[in-house]
Each structure stands twice: as C-alpha cells, then as structure tokens.
Structure 1
Amino acid sequence: MSIITHKALATLFLVAGLSIASRISFAQSNDTIPETTQLGEVMVTAQKESENLQKVPFSVSAIDDRKVEEMNLWQTKDLRGYIPNFYSSNPGDNRNVISIRGITTTSYEPAVATYVDGVNQFGLDTYFFLLNDVERIEVLRGPQGTLYGRNAMGGVMNIITKPKSDELSGFVRTDIGNYGFTRLAAGVKTMLLPQKLYVGMSVLADKLNGYYTNLYNDSDFDKQKNLLVAGNLNYLFAKNWEAILNFKSNTGRNNGPFSLAPDPDSAIENPYEVNQNATTEMVDNSQNISLVLKNTGSRFNFSSQTSYQNNYRYYKAPIDGDFSPIDGVSIVNDYGKDWNTVSVWTQELRLASANTGQKLNWQVGFFGFTSDAPTRQGVYFGADAALVGSPVSNFTTINTNVATGYGFAFFGQATYSLTDKLKLTAGLRSDYEKKKLTVSQEMDFGGDLMVTQPDTTGKVDYNAISPKVALAYQLAPTNEVYGSYSRGFRPGGLTQIGSDPSNPPLFAYDPEFSNNFEIGSKNYFFNRRMRVNVSAFITAISDVQVPGLILPDAIVVTQNAGDMTSAGIEWEINAIPTRNLGIDWSFGFTHATFDKLMLPGESGEVDYAGNRQIFTPDVTSMLAAQWTPQFFHSDELDWMLRGEWLYFGEQFFNLENTISQDAYQIANAKFGVVSDELELTVWAKNIFDTTYIDYAYNFGPSHLGNPATFGVTGMYKF
C-alpha cells in the first residue's frame, strides 16, 4: 500500500512542479493563440453551487452536451472507461451496478448516488438510466456525504438536462444500427410568456432486437424497447422567484431481461447464447416529478425541492431462475399493482450565501424522505425440482416483504479564503433514518396455501455523521493543489434470513462507512492548450455490506462481513495540440483489497482477507483523438474523425475471487460531417468484437458485454 501512495505523491509533486514551471516558461498573452485552440472554462454544480471545475477541491469529471453527442453516450452505463476508476454493468435488466474507486453497489442501496436535475434517484428501482437532452454529466469521485448524504459513499453522478430557453430551440436525432437497434430522440424548448413562462419537452424511444439467441426455442432472447418522456415548466412568478416543475416517465419492456449463461466458461465458449425454458416480458415503469422553488437575492439564495418517485416492475410470466432448459426454478412476481412497487417522497431545503466572491461562502440545509416498498415474489419449483435440490415439485414458495422507512438530515458547508491563494472548506452533516420490515412466507400447492412463516416485523434506526474538510492553494492563476478528507455512508437495514422456520426471520445489519483522504492538483498548461488534473487517494471502508443469494429460496441476505482499504491514482488530460485536433486521456488505478472478509464456508466462517473487491477493474483507461478539419473551406460544416481506445484491467465478480475477467481492450470509431446544427456520421463500437464477461453473479451465471455494433447517426438542431 505504501508503494502505491509513494507513487501517487511523486506524481502529484511532479505536476505541482510543472505548474510552477508553466507560470515561468509558458506565461504568454492569450492574444498570441486563437481562442479556438484554448480549452474553455468548465462550470459545474458539484458542491450545489455553480463554480469553476478547476477550483473544486476534489476529483470531478465533467462531460458537456457536445461530448455526450460525440461519444454516443446513450445510457449511464456507457460512461464506464471514460471516467477514471468508474465501472458500471448489469445482468441485462438495466439495474446498474456502479463502482467508483472500489466502492461498489452490491445491494438495492447504491454505493454511488445518482441525481437527475437535482433529484436523488433513491435506489436501483427508481433509477433513470437513459440519457436524452443532456446539458452536462458530472461524476464526483470519493465520498460526498456532507452535501449529498446517504448512498454517496463512493461518489455522485449528477445528470443535468438542458435549461430553459428564451427562443424556440430544439433537436431531432436518429441512431440506427445492427441487431435491430433504433433510437429516436427529439426535444423542444420555448418561452410562452415574455420573461415569465417557459416550457420544454423531450422524448426518446429506442428498441433492440437483442444480442442473444435462446437455443430452447431458437428466438431472439433480449428484445427490448424503452420510451422516455420528459417535460419542464419554468415560471418566474415574482421578482427573484422562480418555480420549476420537472416530469419524467420511462416505460420499459424487455423480452429476456436476464441474458445469462449458467457459468463464465459457457458464456465465453458459446457467446450470446442462452438455453432457458421459462421466457417472459419484463414490464418496468418509472415516474419522477419534482417541484423546485428558487429565490436569488443580493445576499442570500434559497431553494426548495420536493420530489416523488415511483417504480412498478414485474414479469408477465414466470422467469427462468436456473438459467437452463430444465423445469427447475422460475420466479413469479405478477401479483397486481399493490405489490412490487417502490414509491419515495423527498424534500430538500437549502439556504446559501450569494456567490459574489466574498471571503466566506456558506450553505445550510435540511433533507427528508419517506419510502414505501411492498414486494411479493414467488419461487416456483417445477417438475425437475429435484435437480435443483428440492425434494418436492410443482409448488410455489411466496415471500412477502413490506418495507417502509423515513429519515431526515441537517447539513452545512462553508468555504473561507484564509489568504488570496489559500482556501479552507469544511462541512458537517447529521443523518437519522428509521426502517421497518414485515415479512411472511407461504407455500402454494396449486391453490392450497400453507403458511410457513407468519407476519414478523422488525424495526431498526441509526445515525450517521458525515464531515468534510479541504484545503486548496493556488500556485498560479491556472494551477492549484489541494488536500481533502471526506466521509460517506450507505444505510443499514433489515434483511430476511431465509425460509427455514427454525431460524430468526429477520436480521439487522449496520451502515457502511467510507473515510477518504485525497491529494490532487488541477492545472492548465501551454496557455490553456492542455488541462491536467491528477489525484491520489486512500479510502478505508468499514462494516462492508455483503449480499448473498440464498438458493433455492431466491432470497438476498445482507450482512456486515468485513473491512476494506482502497488506494490509487487517477488523472485526466485534455489537450488541443493544433487548431483541429483534440486529445483526451483518462487513467485510473485502484487497489481495493479486504483487510477482513468473513464468509460462510463448509466448516464455518472463513476469512478471505487480501481478496480483491468485486466489480472493480484494477485499471481503467481511455485515450481518444478527434480531428475536425474544415469541410471545403466552410466556416459551418466540418469533417469529424474520432477514435477511442478503452482498457479495463483484471476484475473479479465474487468475493471468493474465483470468478474473474482478464484485462481487455475495446476500440470505437466515428466519422462524418458535423456543425453546430447538423450531424451525419457513421460509428462503430467494439470494432474488434472483443468477448468479455461484463457481469456475473457470485454463483456463476454470467452476462457478456455488447458485441461489435455499428450504425449511422443523423441529427438536426434548431
């Protein structure tokens, strides 16, 4: 561990030295180089106030709307590789596992918080994964508990859609590719009442015939389609007062949501093939509505955000649970709209100083939520139940869980200029949560019900304190170094043990905490032709929550199983060597290992200390070059040629570290003509058709990453 830290320190000091040298050797007037060859300022809201990316005292990646279009980022999972030490994947159902710096989502409580237009996507169920009409994506790396609270122990992903417009503006875009891929997107914004009322609408529809073939009936297995509709209404109802109403609705259908081979070897040897007898269509409907009230004053700013989220997700018919052609286990959850729904209310109030360049900037706030998640799931054991360990066949075990909870938090953060060049940031947050879970179980023998576990209720509550402190020193107008400490947490809760009535039905597990120390440097070089941001970190994670799938019950049991240390380095380099050429290089190295990891073995618990964290490639890297020469001396239309090389290091998918994926590489390309209003391009992803395990469960079933895909894009903006 010390070797890693020393390397990171050496890298930081090297960049700091270059910062001083650049002030001496490359201090030129901005008039000597055309503005088009300089990197512009990047503004972010990482600390819930608009500020320069280079002044934020921790690691933040920002991808603007132009980059989202150029890189064909269609959903949040596409971000992996582009962001240092960021990984995302799913088994085919679009519930993404997101990992930052070895802190990964392993349960329905995310380890990385996702915000869309300021609304916390509370869990994996209420999560919006499609990207459309995006203004900017920010990825905050490292714990962000002070301002963001629960589930920000690894970091935060902020997705900000396009703001209101005084003039009629909009876009129409079409993407068409192989495997029956079609994506249609459009949006429009305008002002209805002069300087009073604004409206915006966007729509996205996509479909895919599927990458997989189901050998059982020789059919396309993972056919899917989505429809995302979003709207916003802005009303300036009084001087300095604005009301913003946002609405989003996603309707998803997936014929084959779990495109899983039974084990990694089968997945690699017979790529994009499954053999499942129980097939179904997954219905996944999500809604999100929020109301924001904002007041912008000369001394104080006030904001209030109220949001409601709802998700209803079920399978129209039983879905295969043994991932094979036998009639062994299938999952049933279509028990009506009263079940398998998640609904969440959140409220945030925030008061902040007006950001006018004074020595002290501060903000204080309140956050509260209520959640309700009644779920009912049946595990059907068919005629071949004996092959999966059940002595009885043709019956269904029905598990009912009614989970409710509420919580609230108070937080505050301030930045004080100790000198003209030295700034201190400090913050503190206090969270309180209470959860209640009622569980029951019954067996259904063709309509004859037998209660095997009566209603049992458990309650748990806990507190979490999330401090933060950071020092930033400006070496030169374009060079800054910083050091920071921050803490994050993932909530604890209650978990069902299993179907054995001789065991206690409920078990409480504690919150998981992360404590992060980071040093870094943010710089512009060569008269703003190059931006170099580099950081080194070490994070201690305590009471790591480890979920385990109990078979054949299909119950997920969560427990605190150990402690972990994650350390590494990362950098992002953006350069414009010439007028028409841009180069981006992001790199991340993470060494995340368990200091203690107690897992059940054949003869009792076994300590797997030293094992690597799951869903955490040890290296992520992206190198991209984009050339945009002018088209026939036109000032409006340019050629565009873009190439990308992505590298992912070795990673593991189970805590025993017996299921893994070796390092692999992916190449992407895009070519065509572009302008501020028009795009007509051809593109290819995974050009060399690299086959790799993208996701695997701890008991073996594995999902591959997407094969080689190619297509065309047409877009018009007005």
Structure 2
Amino acid sequence: MTKYLLFVFSLLSLGLNAQTATTGVVTGVATDAQGKPIPFASVLIMETRQGTVTDDQGKFKISDIKPGTYQIQFSAIGFVANQQQVTVLVNQTTQVQFEVKPNVKELQVVTVTAQKRSEDLQKIPGALASIGPKKIQNLQISNINEIGRISPNFKSYDDGAGLFPMLASRGVFTIDDTPVVGVYIDGIPLFNTMSFPASLTDVERIEVLRGPQGTIYGRNTLAGAINIITKRPNNQIKGFVSAGYGNLDRFTLEGGIGLPLVKDKLFARISGRYDTRGGYIENTFLQTNDLLARRMGSGNFKLMFYPNENWEVTLAGGLEYRENKAYALLGGFGANGQQLDSLKQNQPYKLSYNTQGNYYTLSSNNALRVSYTTPQFTLTSVSSYQLTDIDRTDEFDFTQFDISSLKPSFRKLNTFSEELRISSNNSNSRFQWLAGVFGYLVKRNETQNIESGADNAFSAPDPITAAQYPYITIDKNEIEQRGFSVFANLTYGLTDRLSIIGGLRYEIESNNTSVDKSFSRNGDPTYSFPALGLIPDQFSETTTFGAFSPKVGLSYQMTPEVMTYANVARGYRPGGINPFTTNADAVVFDPEFSWNYEVGIKTTLLNKRIRTNLTGFYIDYEGQQLFTIIDIATFNFGRDNIGRSISYGVELETEWIVASGLTATLNVGYLETEITDFKVIGFAGEVDNKGNRQAYSPQWNGNLGLNYQKKVGQINLGVTVDYQYQTAMYFDPENTLEQEAYGLLNSRLTIGYRGVSLAFWAQNLTDEIYFSYGYGVSGGGLFASYGLPRTLGTTLTLKF
C-alpha cells in the first residue's frame, strides 16, 4: 500500500512540475523621467489581455504567461502610453523598465497678492482661492454676486435690486450696507455695499480669502475679503471687443485696450462695459412684467508711470451708472415661510405691488498708488476717493395695499482713504514683514421720504381717520465716520520648514450722526416728536469704538509639495448708530467680534497635475449685528446685537489636470452653525432663537467644474460645464423661511479662430425656481426674491 501511495504522489509531482515549467513571469517598475514611481498605472499584455496595476512604488508583476514574444503596454492618466516588446521564457522572470513622459501640462503656479505681496498661493498659510481671466470668462463671472461659486463655504447672493450684494462666509453674514466680507479693487477698499460695482470689467484675477482678515485689511473683513485685480498695460498694444445677446433681452457690449504712451515709461489702459437685461417678475396689480430689469454702463482708465527702476506711479479711475427696477420681494410683515414657499411652487415670478420701485446709482472710484522699491523693502502709498449717489423710490410694505412706500429719496456717500505701508523684499530671509498705517473719512447724507397711506395701521401721531392720509415721515441724517489704524504682519522661519506667523492691528473709529426728523401731512406744519415721547426732531449722537485684531499661526513645509498650517485670528466690526429709530435706547449698537480657529493642509501632487487643499475651522461669534425690530412699540427697525453663535466645518478645494486638455475642479464645503443666545421682541411677544441655525448657512455646498480645450487644425474648441449645489438653508434666525436644496447647471461652448471667438452659453440650464435672497425680521416679517430663471445667449469676441 505504501509503495502505491508513493507512486501516486510521484505522478502528481511530475504533473505539477510539468505545469509550472510551461509558463513565465514578467515584473517591472514604472517611473517618470525623474525616477519617481507611477502608482495605479495599467500594465497589459496586448496579445493575451493579461494585466495588472502598479502598486504605490510603481512596481508590477504578471504571472502564468505562456512562452513567447509579446507587446506590453503601459498606460496611466496624465502620461503618454508606452509599449515594449518582451520575450517570456519557461520558468524565468523577465524584467521590464517603463520610463514614461507626461502627456499633460502641469498646473501653473498661482501668484496672488492676498497678503499685499506677490506669493505662491500654495505657500500662503490660510484659506484662499484665486482664478485668472480664462476661468473668469469660462465661469461667466461678470459681477460680485457670481463670485461665490469659486470657493467653498463662501456664498454671494443677489438681492434682486443689485443694490446690496450679500456676502456670507462660514456662517457669518449681514444684510445691511456695511459688509462683513471686504471688497478691494486694485487695493482700494469699498466700505459700503452700495459702492460695489454692478459689473466686473477688464479683470485679471479674483482672490477670495476666507476667515478674518483684519490684521492686513482692517475694516469690514470680519468674515473674509475679495481682492479684485484689473489688467495692467505694458509695451504691447493689446485689447478686445465683445458683444453678447441672450434671452430676457440681455445685451452686453464690452471693450478694453492697453498701450504704451512712452516706451518703458508711460502706459495707459481704458475699458468700458454696457449691460442691459429685461425684467422677469410680473406685477399683477400694476400689470407690468419688468420688475428686476437692469441697465448699467461703466468706464475705467489706468495710467502707469515708471520714472526709473525704483518708482512706480499708478493713477486709476472709474465711473459707473446703473438703473434698476426693484425691489421684487415676495412676502411682507406677518408673512410666514409656508405662504412664500406655496407662492414659489404655484405662482412663480409673480407678486402684487401698488408702487413701482426705481433705483438710479452713480458711483466713481479713483485712486493714486505710488511705490518705491529697493532690494530690501517696498514703500507703498495708496490714496483713494469714492463717490456714490443714489436716487430711489420703492415699495415698503410689499403688498398691493396703500400702507407704506418710499417717495423720491436720496443717499450720497463720499469716502476718502489713505494707506501707507512698508514691506520686506528679501525672499531668502527667514524674516518677512509688513507694517503700515491706514486712515479714512466717510461722509454720508441721506433723506428718506416715507409716505404712510390710507391703509397704514402704524401711523401713531394722533387719532387716525382716512381723511388725514397720506402723511410723510421725513428722515434726514448726516453721518461722519473717521477711522485710523496701525498694523503689522510678521513671518519668521524657525527652521527651513517651520515658520511662525504673527500679526496685529489696532483700529479706532468715531461716528458722529446728526438726525432731523419730521412729519408732513397735506402741507400742514410738522408734528412734534417730543410730544410723542420719542427722540426729538433734531438730535446728534457720537460714539467711539476701538479694538485689537490679532493673528498668530504656524506653518510647516513637510515637502516642497505639501504644507500644513494652523491659525488663530480675531475678527472685528465696529458698532454704530441707527439713524432712523425714534427710540433713544436703541440708537447705538455695539461692535461684533469673532475668534476663528483654522487648520489646513495644501498639496500639489502627481507631478504637479493635482492641487488639493483641505481646511477645518471653528468660529466663536459674539455680538453679531443683525437687522431686526429694535422697538416693537414704535415699529422701529435697525441694527441690534444678538448674543452669540458658533460655526464650524471643513472645506475641500481640488483642481486636477485629468488628461491633455481636460481639467476638473471640485470645491466642497461642510458647515454647522448654531445660535446660542438671541432673543427679540416680536408682534407675538418674545422670540427665542437659541438652538437655531444661522441664516445663509447651508450644511453642504460646493461646485463641480469641467473644462476641455482642443485644437483642431486652426480651430480652438472649448467646453466648460459648472454645477453648483447647496443643501437647504434658512433666510431668517427663526428658521421659518427655508430655501430647499437646489443646484444650478451652467455651460459655455467656445469656438475660436486666431483672435476671434464665438461662445454659446447657458446659466441655470435646468430652469431651477429658487429664492436667491431673503431675510426675516425676527418677530416681524419675511421677504424673499427670486433667482434668475434659465438664460441662454451668445457672445462674439475679438482680441488683438
């Protein structure tokens, strides 16, 4: 029996040996020209279709290959496909070495001036996004309201009138005219949302900074900043002209040219834009359909003078005029979220007003910038003057009833500012520094003529009869704000990789407000406010607020491609005066503060073909200034301070060259917010908003973009698709007015030949019906404005 078993095992062994002896093995490694391994690449034997994938060291192994001569193909995203001929021998291992070349371009280094010096975006220890002129065009960004699509947890909302672009970052927002996200054009601060441009013309770059930026930028940057840089002229004559047309009678005409006046010394650039669009909201009461129609025209110039290699002098200016048919707010005092949502679903783009609102705005921004540069430092002076003049009429009760409306009224803003700063220039030094002083003067004059009609229920001066109407409340105010700050920002390299960051700004602002209030009824003498126990007809109030805005942080350059950082920064926005209240106890509101804690990692991987940045943050927000009812007895509205709120979240930003000509971008934001202390007195008594989410704070938001460029002979083809998405959010602190989750799909197809291109574009391609803007006066009312429906059009551009 034993001999029999030995005989059987011998036969099996011979069989196995015979099987093993009939095949061979191929192993190898795949690297780029620098010897770096290429992971997750496909390796395939063309004749047998046997294959595998390289590991994280770029190595691979294919077994059980019959003897013979084969073609082995290597392929990986971003690399040129490569084939080699190999001969497989019985019971032997064949070695293969693939050295392959990339077939796509590298992501270009993005140079930004977010910290008032030129730097690589990936080397800045903070949350920052930047896009250049091609992306601005492909993403169809033509105004500030559209900037929100380029950065996670950063949103911009159109109020419908084009008057108050509303910017929100990480759960921090405001609906008044003093922004929490500062806007700067070529370094010039725009203090008031009414001074924001209606369109962006001749722009070279847009930078979006998230988190407090008070150390470097100062006023109105509690939640972030937008830095807009326009194109500069040089020794070449370069320009463009474009014209576009779309539905809603949209027509645009834009152009710009830069040229040398004196070679190497004096250069000039001029640009202009005209943009008009019809309305898309029907007023069923007045039987019109032009609500939210817009028209604007602007012109800009820039002169740049270089006396010698050290000096640079830039004189720039712009003028813009715009007309808006607005507002078109759905809702009113006493409205609830269910009513507004029902109207949106069943009767979209319709409302019923008895007054047509019109806004006419003229604004001018002018600046003189002088810089002196040496190898050690740069000294820069930036002087600016801004004028904004607004004439308007408006609906105030947002109903068809004759309750309240704004008769011809005006507002004028004059702003002067000066910044003097000095910064280091030696990039090889461990010690980098920036220091300066900043001062400003804002003068504001405003007259509001508010007519109370026969249907008004809040005309309290004396016993009311229909015959006593209408009467007009005349509010006049003059506000003067003066501010001064000193600041410094320092970076010191403790080692070649580890750096410490420190910054500090002290800012002080005084506010002097003079108010003149009166009643006018059918030409009768004015009523007396003192007799009603309210603020006197004429009064003045002065406040002074000051605060420190510190920032500390660490950055660690793990490798040339990977950097980590951690920051702590304090945000600040000064208090002020409510000029329209009649309650003396509610005239002054206090400053608001935030502490922002942030950690992040920035990477550039896969041979510089993918850029991925990840950020986490936590914000403790105290004393938030919110537009609300400040005195229910007199039905007065203004800014008041809520107790406290918190927000925290994560942000992902990715750009990837997928293949030759194809680039993908992905931005994702996750945001949690909670109001921890906020009570207000409404019509139904005290309202406690504790535990609610902050307004304008969707839990998830983001966008996915694809851009493909292909040259076919002399023809350049380009396709861009961009999808924006956000989950549900509220417009009010009571969490009663909700905008459900929605997404907007935009696209652009461009056909170019030499300097001429024709683009076909679409926005909101799926025709989503949604509220783009809204607000709730806690305990008082809800209001919302519709976003743009589907728009389609074409644009012809000539570049020279």
User: Using the alignment, how far apart are the partners of 2:279 and 2:515 within structure 1?
Assistant: 37
Superposition pairs of residues 194-593 of structure 1, within 5 angstroms: 194-219=263-288, 220-260=290-330, 262=332, 264-265=340-341, 266-315=343-392, 318-334=393-409, 340-386=411-457, 391=464, 393-450=469-526, 451-452=528-529, 453-496=536-579, 498-499=581-582, 503-504=583-584, 507-548=587-628, 556-593=637-674
Residue 160 of structure 1, CA deviation = 0.6
Q: Helix, strand or coil for the counterpart of 1:615?
A: coil
TM-score by length of 1: 0.91
The residue that corresponds to 2:134 in the other structure is: 66
Q: Helix, strand or coil for the counterpart of 1:611?
A: coil
Which sections of structure 2, spanning at least 5 residues, go unmatched? 1-36, 41-54, 60-77, 81-98, 530-535
User: Using the alignment, how far apart are the partners of 1:310 and 1:555 within structure 2?
Assistant: 29
Contact persistence 2:327–2:395 (CA under 8 A):
no
Q: Helix, strand or coil for the counterpart of 1:103?
A: coil
2:106 pairs with 1:38: yes
User: Using the alignment, how far apart are the partners of 1:458 and 1:311 within structure 2?
Assistant: 24
Aligned residue pairs total 688
Q: Helix, strand or coil for the counterpart of 2:306?
A: strand
User: Using the alignment, how far apart are the partners of 1:670 and 1:99 within structure 2?
Assistant: 27
Residue 638 of structure 1, CA deviation = 2.1
Contact persistence 1:496–1:555 (CA under 8 A):
no
User: Using the alignment, how far apart are the partners of 1:146 and 1:195 within structure 2?
Assistant: 36
Contact persistence 1:328–1:388 (CA under 8 A):
no
The residue that corresponds to 1:8 in the other structure is: none
The residue that corresponds to 1:9 in the other structure is: none
The residue that corresponds to 1:82 in the other structure is: 150
Once superposed, what is the RMSD of the aligned Cα atoms?
2.5
Q: Helix, strand or coil for the counterpart of 2:215?
A: helix
Higher mean C-alpha deviation, range 691-700 or range 60-69? 691-700
Contact persistence 1:26–1:526 (CA under 8 A):
no
The change in CA–CA distance for 1:275 and 1:57 in structure 2 (over 3 A counts) is: same
User: Using the alignment, how far apart are the partners of 2:58 and 2:577 within structure 1?
Assistant: 59
The change in CA–CA distance for 1:259 and 1:495 in structure 2 (over 3 A counts) is: closer
**Structure of higher RCO (CA pairs closer than 8 Å, 6+ residues apart):** 1
Q: Percent identity of the aligned residues?
A: 30
Residue 52 of structure 1, CA deviation = 0.2
The change in CA–CA distance for 1:677 and 1:423 in structure 2 (over 3 A counts) is: farther
The residue that corresponds to 1:97 in the other structure is: 166
User: Using the alignment, how far apart are the partners of 1:62 and 1:368 within structure 2?
Assistant: 28
1:179-199 CA-partner distances (Å, limit 9, x unpaired): 000111100000101111111
User: Using the alignment, how far apart are the partners of 2:432 and 2:458 within structure 1?
Assistant: 65
Residue 36 of structure 1, CA deviation = 4.6
Residue 222 of structure 1, CA deviation = 2.5
The residue that corresponds to 1:183 in the other structure is: 252
2:689 pairs with 1:613: no
The change in CA–CA distance for 1:284 and 1:556 in structure 2 (over 3 A counts) is: farther
The residue that corresponds to 1:655 in the other structure is: 733
1:398-424 CA-partner distances (Å, limit 9, x unpaired): 112211110100000111111111111
User: Using the alignment, how far apart are the partners of 1:223 and 1:77 within structure 2?
Assistant: 16
Contact persistence 1:87–1:617 (CA under 8 A):
no
Residue 33 of structure 1, CA deviation = 4.2
Amino acid at match of 1:696: G
Amino acid at match of 1:398: I
- Find the structure with the greater CA-based Rg: 2
1:147-168 CA-partner distances (Å, limit 9, x unpaired): 0111111000111111122111
Residue 446 of structure 1, CA deviation = 2.3
User: Using the alignment, how far apart are the partners of 1:365 and 1:268 within structure 2?
Assistant: 54
Which sections of structure 1, spanning at least 5 residues, go unmatched? 1-18
Contact persistence 2:159–2:166 (CA under 8 A):
no
Contact persistence 1:26–1:527 (CA under 8 A):
no
TM-score by length of 2: 0.82
User: Using the alignment, how far apart are the partners of 1:350 and 1:194 within structure 2?
Assistant: 29
The residue that corresponds to 1:5 in the other structure is: none
The change in CA–CA distance for 1:585 and 1:180 in structure 2 (over 3 A counts) is: same
The change in CA–CA distance for 1:182 and 1:605 in structure 2 (over 3 A counts) is: same
The residue that corresponds to 2:88 in the other structure is: none
Residue 448 of structure 1, CA deviation = 2.4
1:69-122 CA-partner distances (Å, limit 9, x unpaired): 111111111122331011111332221110010111232221111101100111
Contact persistence 2:129–2:150 (CA under 8 A):
no
Residue 573 of structure 1, CA deviation = 0.7
Contact persistence 2:546–2:574 (CA under 8 A):
no
Residue 307 of structure 1, CA deviation = 0.3
The residue that corresponds to 2:200 in the other structure is: 131
Amino acid at match of 1:693: F
User: Using the alignment, how far apart are the partners of 2:125 and 2:499 within structure 1?
Assistant: 9
User: Using the alignment, how far apart are the partners of 1:613 and 1:532 within structure 2?
Assistant: 29
Contact persistence 2:79–2:103 (CA under 8 A):
no
1:353-407 CA-partner distances (Å, limit 9, x unpaired): 1143211111110000011111110210123334999945210011122111101
The residue that corresponds to 2:125 in the other structure is: 57
